[in-house]
Amino acid sequence: LRQRHHYTRRLNLDHGLSSYMQEFIGFAQENWVLIVIWLSAAGTLYYTESQKAGKSVTTTEATRMMNHDNALILDIREQKEFAAGHIAGAHNLPASTMDAKVSEIDRFKSRPVIVVCKMGTSAGSIAKSLKKRGFENVVRLAGGMSEWRAAALPVRNGKSS
């Protein structure tokens, strides 16, 4: 008897969910303009936020770009973090000194550039500023050095190679 009662309650719960769905559909039909405005705002927010960060590449894509496209790895972490471990062949140009020293990498404008930071979050703004300076193909490493290390890819210690 108890199991049957539990089963009956589940049926009522399922019926309750369908009535909630019917209420939502009714709300959406009555307030379609509000729904359209909300979806437009959400889409606009998503688009602007994705444009801020710029295009990102995975560790696999970055490795391919390094091996086949002669990509420049631009590590924007501070010197101390860079010395503790960086991608082989990376050029260190800390974000804090980027404006003053960006001319050091101007000769690489025609090469693909992969911007690397610690977590992949601050590289977007640097990538965007490099594009404004005339760099043709600038991307950021998704997940930064944290993702590179998590993928067990090789890391060098010390200064720039």
**Kind plus residue range of the DSSP H or E element containing 120:** none
**Catalytic residue status for 117:** yes
For residues 16 and 9, what is the distance between their CA atoms, to the nearest angstrom? 10
Which residues pair with residue 113 across a beta bridge?
72, 138
Are 90 and 63 in contact by the 8 Å Cβ rule? The answer is no
Catalytic residue among 65, 66, 87, 117, which? 117
Sign, Cα dihedral of 108, 112, 117, 118: negative
Cβ neighbors of 60 (< 8 A, separation 6 or more) are none
CB atoms within 10 A of CB 62: 25
Conformation bin of residue 115: beta by default, left when phi > 0, alpha when psi is -120 to 50: beta
Beta-strand pair 56-57/138-141: parallel
Active site residues: 117
